[in-house]
């Protein structure tokens, strides 16, 4: 039920495009290549199970958790979709 000059389904198309962009961004952030045996930041040993589970891993679980927490705080996805939230 789009109004004005928007075509029907325009809102859903915009939501789909936003989700697709977020998935592409997340995939681009995945590690690639050979895994390290020791963490880049704290030099702690990275367990073999983690190296096999996450190809290209460069950080231990503790350091990776810290990076993930920072990324959550800096996220800027507008989930409300209202004009007010876009102006903030």
Cα 35 from chain centroid (whole Å):
20
Q: Could you read off the pLDDT of 60-83 as tens digits, one per residue?
A: 999 999 988 887 776 555 555 555
Each domain of the chain, given as residue ranges in start order, spans: 29-73
Tokens 């190809």 correspond to 55
Helix spans in 4-73 (H): 10-28, 48-53, 61-73
Record the tokens describing residue 80, joined without a space. 């409300």
Check whether 85 has a pLDDT greater than 70: no
Q: Could you read off the pLDDT of 29-70 as tens digits, one per residue?
A: 887 889 999 999 999 999 999 999 888 999 999 999 998 888
d(CA 8, CA 2): 5
Q: How much is the pTM?
A: 0.53
Give whole-number Cα distances, 26 to 29, 31, 36, 79, 88, in Å: 5, 10, 21, 17, 24
């Amino acid at each position: 039920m789009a109004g004005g000059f928007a075509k029907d389904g325009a809102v859903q198309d915009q939501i789909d495009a936003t989700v697709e962009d977020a998935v592409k961004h997340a995939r681009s952030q995945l590690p690639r290549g050979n895994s390290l045996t020791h963490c880049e930041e704290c030099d702690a040993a990275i367990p073999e199970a983690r190296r096999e589970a996450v190809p290209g891993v460069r950080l231990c679980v503790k350091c990776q958790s810290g990076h993930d927490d920072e990324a959550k705080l800096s996220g800027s996805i507008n989930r409300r979709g209202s004009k007010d939230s876009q102006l903030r």
